[in-house]
A and B are shown apart, each in its own frame.
Chain A
Amino acid sequence: MTGDAPLSRPPMGTLAFWCWAAAFTGVVYLAGRWVTNDYVFFAGYIVLQYVLLATAWNILGGYAGYVNFGTAAFFAIGAYISTALNKWLGLPLPVLILAGAAVCGLIGLLMGGLTLKLQGVFFSIATLALAIVTQALITNWEYVGGAAGAYVIRPSRGPLGGSYVEYLFYTMLLLATLAVCIARTVERSAAGYGLAAIRDDEAAAEAAGVPTMKLKVATTVLSGALMGAAGAPLPFFVTYLDPPSAFNLAVAVNTIAMPLVGGTATWIGPVIGAVLLSIVQEAAMVTISSAVNLLLVGLIMIGFITLAPNGIMGLLRGRRR
């Protein structure tokens, strides 16, 4: 024992990490100003969106071991709240993102309160049901286009100068970085210890005095809010939003595959998984065909589950964890 602070893990302090993350964001932003090809921002946006989604999923699925199959629901609700508010009041994007996050956090609270008494697989099935129910509701919500979908008019220029896609890219960069910082902070806090205990043996965690229900609900709220934030810029990115694209199977599958491939125990796992898998898919889409990408994800996932169940981070760390 060297002077570790109570219930926190060295080596890098949380504050230092946030500073590094801010510096990283700043460097990418400055580098981005030199880029003139919009494709870079398109592809980069997708990668960052998956970093955000995978990180959000992992806070509940990786740290606490509660597998959420309902990512697409949170993501789509974020997108549709943003579409609806944009149509109704024409609010700026940051406000739409906050609104999407707030609504999804609230849905996380309701879903968590209702379903987290169910343990393990039962919770997962309930999240799947949420995705199906939400899709049915949104398909019948005429204000945002119903089954036919809705066009969203995207300004041609972003408020920072440069194209609007460039602006969306920076927005997503900020959100993804924020999510990673939050995930790491949670991981190294007392709550992170509590979640790890829940993952390992929930009954024992409860007996040891870990407030399991509170932690699980709070985590579901946080995870849901981040997923909602990930969905909110989507209508401006795709400019045409309909239920099949908002509830895309790729989103649900990728969000689970990425943390599994990277490793679920730490914040870096979902980041590595998301960057790797989304680049592989983007490359496959450009070079082979736009239909082959999910097949690739499936194959990679099978490979990792059988050969490296603890993901890339698990391979790097050897037997530990």
Chain B
Amino acid sequence: MASSLAIDGLEAGYGTVRVLNGLSLTVGAGETVALLGTNGNGKSTLMKCIMGLAVPMAGSIRAEIDGVTHELAGARTEDIVSLGIALVPEGRRLFPRLSVEENLTLGAYRPAARAGLRRGLEYCFEAFPRLAERRRQLAGSMSGGEQQMLALGRALMSEPRILLVDEPSVGLAPLLVKRTIEKIRELKESRNLTVLMAEQNFVQALSIADRGYVIVHGEIAFTGNSAAELNDNELIRKFYMGL
């Protein structure tokens, strides 16, 4: 079952500030695509546009899910989640005063996902045994790594077909970044997801990405059709790796 994403000529911003300037990219069915770029280039704004949390000024965002194409630009977030698109927000954005289990439960808020609540919880506790141990603990009292696992789990609870991950490495120790990225790969394979991941940590992101885009000032500055191509790119070597 194919789920893919095609973004065309997307323009968005806040007030008079333009953040995305005609950005186009595609995420093919079953692909893991990395969206690379430093702070302030529009990665999070793109994620917000896809989720309907920010409203684009122009352009289209099309999601194809099980052979049906949906236009996401202008759609409501709750409907976008219902379609099968989930976001792991930057900085995790858990509900700190709710328990681990309540956080997960909220991931299955959409009526369609509620039916699968039990199954989803079981899946999450199996995929992240730490969460099972800490089921009744408040999310805000957990370590950064555990919180990132919970954020991933919460996103999976809506039974997504397309998973958006915004900067999973933020605020995590290098070893935990590696584990998180590895976990995303694992989940992607076991749940047959299509993944778009925004990341600043190039080396880690490229370790699981099939392809990648480099975003600069709200535009795609470089398209790498393989991880190797991105690795060898001058732009990346210059700006992001200091080579």
Contacts and interface: CB of A to CB of B under 8 A. Distances in A.
Interface stretch (B74-82, B169-177, B219-227): B74-82
Nearest to B76: A211
Contacts of B122: 1
Interface string A200-220: 110111111111000000000
Contacts of B97: 196, 199-200, 321
A6 interface: yes
Contacts, number: 80
A21 interface: no
B121 A208 contact: no
B109 A190 contact: yes
Contacts of A320: 138
A248 B158 CA distance: 47
Contacts of A197: 95, 98, 106, 109
A7 interface: yes
Given A1-B122, A197-B95, A207 B114 contact: no
A194 to B, nearest CB: 6
Nearest to B117: A6
A206 B77 contact: yes
B118 A1 contact: yes
Contact of A209 (B81, B93, B102): B81
B62 interface: no
A208 B94 contact: no
Given A203-B93, A206-B53, A207-B87, A194 B109 contact: yes
Interface string B108-142: 11100111011001100000000000000010000
Interface in A149-195: 190, 193-194
Contact of B102 (A196, A199, A206, A210): A196
A196 B106 CA distance: 10
A194 B98 CA distance: 11
Interface size class of B (residues with CB under 8 A): 20 to 34
Interface residues of A, number: 23
Contacts of A190: 109, 114
Interface string B36-53: 000000000000000101
Contacts of B96: 200-201
Nearest to B114: A6
A196 to B, nearest CB: 6
Nearest to A196: B98
Nearest to A198: B95
Contact of B98 (A6, A200, A210): A200
Contact of B121 (A1, A196, A200, A203): A1
Given A6-B115, A204-B93, A210 B109 contact: yes
Q: Taking each of A7, A200, A208, which has the highest tally of chain B beta carbons within 10 Å of its own beta carbon?
A: A208
Nearest to B111: A190
A4 B97 CA distance: 21
A201 B78 contact: no
Contacts of A4: 118
A321 B99 CA distance: 9
B53 A205 contact: no
A209 B95 contact: no
Contacts of A209: 77-78, 80-82, 109-110, 113, 158
B158 to A, nearest CB: 6
Contacts of A7: 105, 108-109, 114, 117
Contact of A201 (B95, B113, B138, B155): B95
Given A200-B98, A210-B106, A321-B138, 4 more contacts: A1-B121, A197-B95, A207-B53, A207-B93
28 contacts: A1-B121, A7-B114, A7-B117, A190-B109, A190-B114, A193-B105, A193-B106, A196-B95, A196-B98, A199-B97, A203-B53, A203-B89, A204-B89, A204-B94, A205-B106, A206-B77, A207-B51, A208-B107, A208-B109, A208-B155, A208-B158, A209-B110, A209-B113, A209-B158, A210-B106, A211-B76, A211-B78, A321-B97
Top 6 A-B pairs, shortest CB-CB distance: A209-B81, A204-B93, A200-B95, A211-B78, A6-B117, A209-B110
